[in-house]
Amino acid sequence: MKNIVEKAMSQWGFDGADCRLVAARENRVYRIAKDGVTYALRLHRRGYCSNAELRCELQWMNAVSAGGLDVPAPITSTAGKMLHVIDGVAVDVLSWLEGEPLGKTGVPLKVNNRTATFHAIGREMARLHTISDAWTLPEGFTRRRWDRDGLVGEIPIWDRFWDNPTLSTEDRELFLHMRAVAKSELTARKADLDFGLIHADLVRENVLIHEDKVQIIDFDDSGFGFRLFDVATTLLRNQTEPDYATLKQSLLTGYQSVRNIDLASLDLFAVLRALTYVGWIMSRMNEEGSQERNARFVSTARSLTEAYLSRQAE
């Protein structure tokens, strides 16, 4: 990777700049400091997105940034390109955002002004959707689709959750039943569901707080999808907080202060979001801590599915 980083730094005119690795999860992210300005250099994981999808991601981020949202903005190379492929690895550079993540998954939330913060998160989420709807998509724009097929079709974006090898017979049957119910309900409710470009991964780690600003990072999983999927993603990762009901209401109020959204299907999307993680973990079972995460994902999905189906039966 060192050779790729050196070549990338040359492509962006960063020769001699300070460079250090700051994240090595799905992508490798390096902090670059040059002439008093800080940047984020990203080496994308192979095979997750096509180069065409990555270019479209950067075009969208550029439009969102231009629309006034606090997101990383793409920086063009000395050749005027937002994306380069170096030794088979896709590389880009973004503006650096100062701030700290809202929190870490599985750890009690420690944030001041909790109600105001979640109101702001909801507001910025809604602004993201509004700016995206006003943007004219470039010709050939392509990103993944978190639609019915992407969530509960034969080949979901994050794998066939009902085939997770750790599932008990009872859990597999439960999730297959929920899948059938979801397919039917998404079809029946299609006309009432707000659909467009979404971030798709607005978890705590992807929300940066800097002073009084809420900033959104990591558009890796972004694409076309139901707007309630974004809402459900943020809420799901905070449902164990003691003041969850207040945080939820604050986020929804913040969102609706910018744009209207029909919340009738929010519980359905909470279940669907939980199920996606049961599929997501399948290709990561050999990673450190994956067994614990898998157990947590399955437990959460089971609980939400049972509660949802119970309400539907009333």
What is the three-class DSSP state of 258? coil
User: Is the whole-model pTM more than 0.85?
Assistant: yes
Regarding beta strands 144-146 and 223-226, do their DSSP bridges make them parallel or antiparallel, or are they unpaired? parallel
Q: Compute the distance between CA of residue 152 and CA of residue 162 in angstroms, rounded to an integer.
A: 10
Residue with tokens 């994240």: 23
CATH homologous superfamily, domain 101-313: Aminoglycoside phosphotransferase (APH), C-terminal lobe (3.90.1200.10)
Encode pLDDT of 86-112 as tens digits. Answer: 999 999 999 999 999 999 988 999 988
Compute the average pLDDT of residues 141-145.
97
Which pLDDT value is given to residue 24?
Answer: 85
Domain borders along the chain are 2-96, 101-313
Which pLDDT value is given to residue 240?
Answer: 93
Regarding beta strands 144-146 and 89-95, do their DSSP bridges make them parallel or antiparallel, or are they unpaired? unpaired
Q: Compute the distance between CA of residue 183 and CA of residue 174 in angstroms, rounded to an integer.
A: 14
Q: Determine contact, residues 201/230, Cβ cutoff 8 Å.
A: no
What fold does the segment set 2-96 form as a domain? Phosphorylase Kinase; domain 1 (3.30.200)
Per-residue pLDDT band for 212 (boundaries 50, 70, 90) equals confident
